[in-house]
Amino acid sequence: MSDVRCSAFRPDLRFQTFDLWMKFFLKYWLPLPIWLSVIFVGSTNLMSAEHTSRFVVPFLLWLKPGMSPHTIWVILVLMRKCAHVTEYAVLALLLWRALRSIPILRAKMLMVFVAVVLGCALFAATDEFHQTFVKSRTPSVRDVFLDVGGALLGLLIGAGFARRHAKRPRCATHSQFVDAQL
């Protein structure tokens, strides 16, 4: 009973620790499954070319009446491929951010980088496999490579952002403040 820092003897510390853990989870890890769900829903019939073209084609024709069907098709394909790159760039940034929130991994940037690329590649492959079960979708190995390219782009953006902000002086974290109070 000599250790007064033990949370069993200080209920306020136990709840404070849970509260900090919950904030940590909500900030760093919860966005990840939410974004994975967004990507998964995007692989369903809901976001197939047939459904999205119903509102994109009229919009394009409103912007430029008389646009040729070939031009419309090219724009639709480019939009869909840009969506692949964007959604996996965001996924890579979220996964990178979540993994970097683990203190032991902060110094192991190469390991985090490889884990993010492999994680995104694995999810991209399972996403394309999922599309084999959706009649209106066509799975493509090229899309997996496009997704991995998007993940690499996201990592480059994240690394550039981290490098730019690493030069700023850091304030003490809340957990360091709590530890100092004990």
Residue 3 resides in a domain: no
Query: Where do runs of H (alpha helix) occur along the chain?
Result: 11-24, 31-42, 49-63, 69-100, 109-131, 141-166, 174-181
What range defines the domain where residue 146 resides?
19-163
pTM above 0.85, yes or no: no
Residue 157 resides in a domain: yes
Residue 92 resides in a domain: yes
Residue 7 resides in a domain: no
Residue 79 resides in a domain: yes
Residue 55 resides in a domain: yes
* SS3 at position 112: helix
Residue 23 resides in a domain: yes
pLDDT digit string (tens) for the chain, length 182 residues: 444 454 444 445 555 787 888 888 899 999 999 999 999 999 988 888 887 888 899 999 999 999 999 999 999 999 999 999 999 999 999 999 999 888 888 888 899 999 999 999 999 999 999 999 988 888 999 999 999 999 999 999 998 888 887 766 555 555 554 455 44
Give the gyration radius of the chain's Cα atoms. 22
Q: How many domains does the chain have?
A: 1
Residue 14 resides in a domain: no
